[in-house]
Structures are given as C-alpha cells and as structure tokens.
Structure 1
Amino acid sequence: MKYTMLKNSELDVSVIGLGTNAVGGHNLFQNLNEQNGKELVRKALNIGVTFIDTADIYGFGRSEELIGEVLKDFKRDDFVIATKGGQHWFEDGSVKKDNRPEYLREAVEISLQRLQLDYVDLYYLHLPDNETPLTESIGELARLKQEGKIRAIGISNVSLKQLKEANVHSDISVLQSPYHMLDRSAEKELLPYCVENNISFIPYGPLAFGLLGGTFTKESRLDTQDWRQSIPLFNGEHFNQTLETVKKLNQIATQKDTTLPNLALAWLLAQEGVDSVIPGGKRKERILENSYASEIILSEEELDIINDILSNN
C-alpha cells in the first residue's frame, strides 16, 4: 500500500481508502449484513488501508456506530477517520439539510460519541443547505478544529462558486465530489481549482457506483429501493451505452493484467490533484482486491488510449 499526505493538513492516508455507505447504511441499500460491514472495515485496517470514510447520514448514525465498534480494537494512530455532517434527520424519517453553526457543533459531538473517539481526523460539510452562509458553517468547523475536535476540514457536493466561498480563509483541506471514468465533469472547474489552491480532491463513486466493477449486464436491474436508481448512467439507453464503454475499458484492464475496478482506481490516482480514492463495497474480499490498485502505474500511452475510449463514448 502507498500513502500520501492530504494537502493543507497533517493527515497521512493510504491512497486506497474505504467508503462505508454500505456499512450500516440501511437507508441507502437493502438487506445489509452489519457483521459483514464490520468485517469489511476490520479487513481494510488489517491490510494497511488507513483512510476510512463515513457520514452521519449513513444509516442515520448506524454506520458510525459500527465503525466505532471496530476502531476501538486498533491504535488511534493506525487510522484516519473522515465523517460528514450537515443533514438533520427526524423521527419520522425526514431529512433536512442544516449547515447552521450550532447544528454542526452538535453533529460533531454526536459523531464522536458514535465513533467512540475524542476527535475526528477529517470532517466534511456534507451538503450545502443554500440558506446558511458557507463562511459561517466553515467558520464553526474552524473553531472546532482549534478546539481539537477535528484535525482538518472538508466539504463535498458543492459548485465552484460555493467552494470559493467556503475556502475564503483557506480552511478547506479536502473536496469530495463525484468523479470517475464515466463522469469527468469535475475536470472542468473543481479539479483545477483544487490543484491551484492546495486542496486534495477525493473522488466519491470512483467505480461509478458499481458500473466499473465489471459485473453489470444489460439484464441487470437495481432493487426498487436502491438509491442509484436516480443516477442517469443506470437508466435506459444511457445504461446500454455505458456498458459498451465498460466493455472496451475491460479489454484494456485485461491487457494490463489487472481488473477493471483496479484500472479505474489507478486511472483516478494518475490524475493531478487526486490524492486518494475511497471505493466502497459490502464484502471484505473487495477491499483486498482494491488495495492492489495502489501498485498499478499507467503509462502516458495507456492514459491516452483510455482517454480516447472515454472521449468517443
């Protein structure tokens, strides 16, 4: 495993991290096995994956609780934990975006309790509420950083304008945003801004939410409750076109003597500004397979061939 320092921080992380929305994320996926989720996290830590990414909204706190149960068996220096807040949920199951400083302070404290930690390494503002000025939200996170509750500040799901507002005092260390082979929109504005302003870019959905896992066919159908139903890549003719692109990428992976998922992860790590990737999964075997991507080096010629495939489809 290779490691890197996230920019504008003192966080040394594995370049292959672990996304955990399927660890206790019962509001996102059906029929999750919590024990399998805990084993996934434990396996990751045991093989040198030190960067664990979660959010308080995953399972309405359940993901953090399960991860906390695993983390207590490891030394605090053995992992870097990232979580997110800014979404307020209620007993009736409804959710409201809430970036108010007082709510974020409360959310951080409750996340620490669930995770059984004294501090969070990286805390993201998960989603802007489009009501609270981002300077106020990030300002409160900066105060929590001064108090030692969090070590670095991140933000996700924002436009370039919102990112600039949030980073007016250079408080942002990490941006997490959608980016993968099948969606390169981040390359237009967000990624260049991060490179220019010393911000680490962490792609979420690095395997296109499963499409770059290589297991989907034209007959594949998501569960009706699966949150990925809302992603255009999974629907209609777009889905069929995507599978054709995936087929060509799989051929490149075979020539490289690797897997399609690892090719996709290695491709992201080859992009300037991307310091780590956080693929998710439900099985502990997946994180072991993903870890091999840290050793894959793509030549300029290979990157050009991949770019041609992505540009022509």
Structure 2
Amino acid sequence: MVNQSKLGNSNLIVNPIGLGTNAVGGHNIYPDLSDETGKEIIRTAIKHGINFFDTAFIYGPERSEELIGEVLKEEGRRESVVLATKGAHKFVDDKIEIDNSPAFLTETVERSLKRLQTDYIDLFYIHFPDEDTPKDEAVGALKDLKDQGKIKSIGVSNFTLDQLKEANKDGYVDVLQSEYNLFKREAEKELLPYTTQHNITFVPYFPLAAGLLAGKYTKDTTFEDGRASNPMFQGDEFLSNLEKVEQVRKIADAKGVEVAHLVLSWYLTRSSINALIPGAKTPEQVKNNLKTLDVELTPLEIVMIDEIFQ
C-alpha cells in the first residue's frame, strides 16, 4: 500500500493513516478521559510514523488542541507533522452557535494557533456550515489567512454538494471531511465524484461506524450511549448489519488480518480518499491502526467487499 499521500492540490504529504483526536482531551465527548493518556497517544503516534493529526476547537472544547500543542512543543516535532484543526463553533450565552463569518473564522484561527503553540496550521477546516454566510466568502477569509502564512491549506467539513461547490467557486478547497463508511455510502452519489473531478481529498469520519465495522459486536451486545437510539444498532437492522460484518470477517480471516484493517484498507481504494483519521483511546490502538498499511487487497476482494454492502 502507498505510504505517502498528497492532500488535494496542497503541498501537504501525509502517512495515509492519520489520527483523529476527539479522544485526546475531548472531555465533552467521552467521560473519564485522562489528559496524560491523551498526550501519550500523540507521542506514540509520532514515534510510529503517523504525521497527520486531526483535531478541532470543539474537542474539549479547546483541550484537544492544547494537549497536542504541548506534546509537539515538548517533542520538538512541529515541522514533521501535518496538523489539521477545525472551527465554526462559538458559545453565546452558554449555547453553541455556528459562525462562518470571515471575522469569526479569522478570530478562531488566531485562537487555535495559540492553543496549538504554533505560528501556522497546515490544514484548517470550516467545521460546519452556517445558514447565512456565503461559502465562497468564508473560504475567501481562509485564503487571506493562507496568503499570510497562518494556514497552509483549506478544508470544509459537513458541507452538502451545493455548499461545497459554492465554497470551491475559486478552486481554493483542498480537503472535504464528511461522514462515510460501508453502511453510509451517500457520499458516493455526488460528493466523491465531485472531489475526484476537482482533486479534493475526501477524508471520511466515522469510518468504522462507531465500532460496528471493527467487528467487535455480537447480537448480544447492548448499548447505553447514543448508539442505543440509532437504528443501525437496533433490531433486525442490527442483525442484518452484523451478518454483513461476518462476511467481511471471512475475507479478513483468510488474509490473517482484522476486520477493521480490511475495512480501512478498502476505503483507500476509493477515488479521492487517500488519507484516513481513525481515532484511538489508547496508545495500543494507535499502533493497531497502522496495521492497515500491511493489507493488500486484490481486485476481487475489493469487489467482494463492495457487493456485501450494496
């Protein structure tokens, strides 16, 4: 498998297996996180060759960026990593609002720079679209920051096709981050063709479908978090999904690899997907994610996995 990928039209080169860091300092997402464990996750990733880190203001909030900044400064490794963060959220009277205005995006980049203890961000995403700001104006503000050297490339996240087209009117968008996995393939209809046509890297989030595509659940598994109300994890749909995962497991077993590694490897065969950001809650999971790079899928296996989930 290719061990280097170029992000869109940028000059950024990454290991195709990066690290999503919502469990590093993401105290508002996961209970009982240890900041020291979070920092060790980052150290382990760097030690084992991961150079693409994905964080966001809302992870914590703020704490994920702070912890990553601390580690990169301690390790003296800022220049050797590609650092991506996201902004658009703001707190107004203790409520979260989404703001894509040029003034706010400029302000949120400045604040992220301080938390990350760096003078540039490699990839800055607009995390969510707001309802009012023209998307080309929002991206235009990021282009100004790019011209100033404060960011090196521009991304958008959770944008519809129409919003992406508007955002990319001047060809400034390098990366789209959006939900995509073998169970949720809507992006194949419009977003993946568009990103392929315009050389925009597509970075999928939730690639393992909240653990379902990691092959770690059985029909007796019960859920007490948000999955408990998700139809994917309920009743006949859950049982049907498990059957599909078991079909993938047969292919994985024959290759001597884990289901998760097989699934992640399959994504990297899709047009415009050349980088992944699986998360990790422990240093061991970081090292395990990297085993994806050892998987070589045959053309037949690629088709077989595709057809299981059609």
With normalisation by structure 1, the TM-score equals 0.94
User: Structure 2 vs 1, CA of residues 301 and 214 (structure 1 numbering), >3 Å: closer, same or farther?
Assistant: same
Partner of 2:188: 187
- Alpha-carbon distance between aligned partners in 2 of 1:258 and 1:197, rounded to the nearest angstrom: 34
Is the 1:60–1:89 Cα contact (8 Å) retained in structure 2? no
Q: How many residues align?
A: 308
User: Structure 2 vs 1, CA of residues 230 and 118 (structure 1 numbering), >3 Å: closer, same or farther?
Assistant: farther
Partner of 2:198: 197
Is the 1:17–1:278 Cα contact (8 Å) retained in structure 2? yes
2:77 to 72, 75, 78: 75
For 1:268-283, list aligned pairs within 5 A: 268-283=267-282
Q: Specify every segment of 5 or more residues in structure 1 that has no aligned partner in the other structure, as ranges.
A: none
- Alpha-carbon distance between aligned partners in 2 of 1:296 and 1:132, rounded to the nearest angstrom: 43
Shift of 1:237: 3.3
**Percent identity for Structure 1 against Structure 2:** 47
Greater shift in the superposed pair: 258-267 or 27-36: 27-36
User: Structure 2 vs 1, CA of residues 69 and 236 (structure 1 numbering), >3 Å: closer, same or farther?
Assistant: farther
2:92 counterpart of 1:105: no
Shift of 1:222: 3.5
Question: Residue by residue, what CA displacement relative to the aligned partner does 1:130-158 show, whole Å, maximum 9, x if unpaired?
Answer: 11111111110110100111000000101
Partner of 2:6: 5
Question: Residue by residue, what CA displacement relative to the aligned partner does 1:180-211 show, whole Å, maximum 9, x if unpaired?
Answer: 12211111100010110111111111111221
- Alpha-carbon distance between aligned partners in 1 of 2:265 and 2:55, rounded to the nearest angstrom: 22
Partner of 1:173: 174
Task: Specify the SS of the correspondent of 2:273.
Answer: coil
- What is the one-letter code of the residue matched to 2:258? T
- Alpha-carbon distance between aligned partners in 2 of 1:125 and 1:53, rounded to the nearest angstrom: 13
Question: Residue by residue, what CA displacement relative to the aligned partner does 1:274-297 show, whole Å, maximum 9, x if unpaired?
Answer: 110000020111111111212322
User: Structure 2 vs 1, CA of residues 127 and 292 (structure 1 numbering), >3 Å: closer, same or farther?
Assistant: same
User: Structure 2 vs 1, CA of residues 250 and 15 (structure 1 numbering), >3 Å: closer, same or farther?
Assistant: same
For 1:80-91, list aligned pairs within 5 A: 80-90=82-92
- Alpha-carbon distance between aligned partners in 1 of 2:223 and 2:178, rounded to the nearest angstrom: 23
Task: Specify the SS of the correspondent of 1:16.
Answer: coil
- Alpha-carbon distance between aligned partners in 1 of 2:109 and 2:241, rounded to the nearest angstrom: 39
- What is the one-letter code of the residue matched to 1:282? K
Task: Specify the SS of the correspondent of 2:83.
Answer: strand
Greater shift in the superposed pair: 211-220 or 67-76: 211-220
Over the aligned positions, Cα root-mean-square deviation in angstroms equals: 1.5
Is the 1:218–1:243 Cα contact (8 Å) retained in structure 2? yes
- Alpha-carbon distance between aligned partners in 1 of 2:170 and 2:199, rounded to the nearest angstrom: 13
Question: Residue by residue, what CA displacement relative to the aligned partner does 1:101-155 show, whole Å, maximum 9, x if unpaired?
Answer: 1111110011111111111000000000111111111110110100111000000
Shift of 1:42: 1.0
Is the 1:25–1:63 Cα contact (8 Å) retained in structure 2? yes
Question: Residue by residue, what CA displacement relative to the aligned partner does 1:210-241 show, whole Å, maximum 9, x if unpaired?
Answer: 212222223333444x5x55644234432232
2:115 counterpart of 1:137: no
- Alpha-carbon distance between aligned partners in 2 of 1:6 and 1:32, rounded to the nearest angstrom: 31
- Alpha-carbon distance between aligned partners in 2 of 1:144 and 1:57, rounded to the nearest angstrom: 21
- Alpha-carbon distance between aligned partners in 2 of 1:221 and 1:91, rounded to the nearest angstrom: 37
- Alpha-carbon distance between aligned partners in 2 of 1:212 and 1:41, rounded to the nearest angstrom: 24
Is the 1:24–1:59 Cα contact (8 Å) retained in structure 2? yes
Q: Specify every segment of 5 or more residues in structure 2 that has no aligned partner in the other structure, as ranges.
A: none
Shift of 1:162: 0.6
Task: Specify the SS of the correspondent of 2:122.
Answer: strand
For 1:105-254, list aligned pairs within 5 A: 105-224=106-225, 226=226, 228=227, 231-254=230-253
- Alpha-carbon distance between aligned partners in 2 of 1:98 and 1:223, rounded to the nearest angstrom: 32
- Alpha-carbon distance between aligned partners in 1 of 2:19 and 2:53, rounded to the nearest angstrom: 5
Shift of 1:244: 1.7
Partner of 1:27: 28
- Alpha-carbon distance between aligned partners in 2 of 1:31 and 1:273, rounded to the nearest angstrom: 36
With normalisation by structure 2, the TM-score equals 0.95
- Alpha-carbon distance between aligned partners in 2 of 1:235 and 1:38, rounded to the nearest angstrom: 35
- Alpha-carbon distance between aligned partners in 1 of 2:303 and 2:210, rounded to the nearest angstrom: 24
Partner of 1:42: 43
Partner of 1:18: 19
